[in-house]
Amino acid sequence: MRSQKSQISVEFIIILAIMLIVFLIIFVVADKRTAEMYNTRTKLYAKMEADKLASDINGIFLAGSGTRKVTMLPNKLRDNSAYNISIYPSEHKLEVTWQSSGTNDHYSAALIAGNISGILGNLNYPVNVSNVNGAIIIS
């Protein structure tokens, strides 16, 4: 009788250990999915800011000479991630960069105008965009 009880407790410990391993694997997978969700959310926030500024720059360019607009950009993205916006006129693109899981990530938005001058790297809010004789000036 006594050996049967010890057999049951050994089997119980083995089953308990297997259950703990399964739960550990589930938690690791869930944590990875959560990290991916946060990275995707940050990318969407960066995309929103890039598209907003690119839309304003393209709108000023299309509106013609003498058009001006002040665009407000936040210090940080909505999830408190630090970011930088740079404009590359020769490539007709506006690029947002930020840190995501220890690596740099970026998003690029298209610009119509290629004749852009002024402060083009590490833009902060507010951004003054104006069209002077077809050239976009950012200050």
Q: Give tens-digit pLDDT for 84-130.
A: 999 999 999 999 999 887 889 999 999 998 899 887 777 777 889 99
pLDDT for res 15 = 93
CB 49 within 8 Å of CB 85: yes
- Residue 59 tokens read as 């709108």
Q: Bigger pLDDT: 3 or 23?
A: 23
Question: For 19-67, how does the pLDDT look when each residue is reduced to its tens digit (9 = 90+)?
Answer: 999 999 999 999 999 888 999 999 999 999 999 999 999 999 999 999 9
The answer, as to whether pTM is greater than 0.85, is no
Is the pLDDT reported for residue 137 higher than 80?
Answer: yes
User: How far is the CA of 44 from the CAs of 12, 48, 131, in angstroms?
Assistant: 48, 6, 29
Is the pLDDT reported for residue 2 higher than 90?
Answer: no
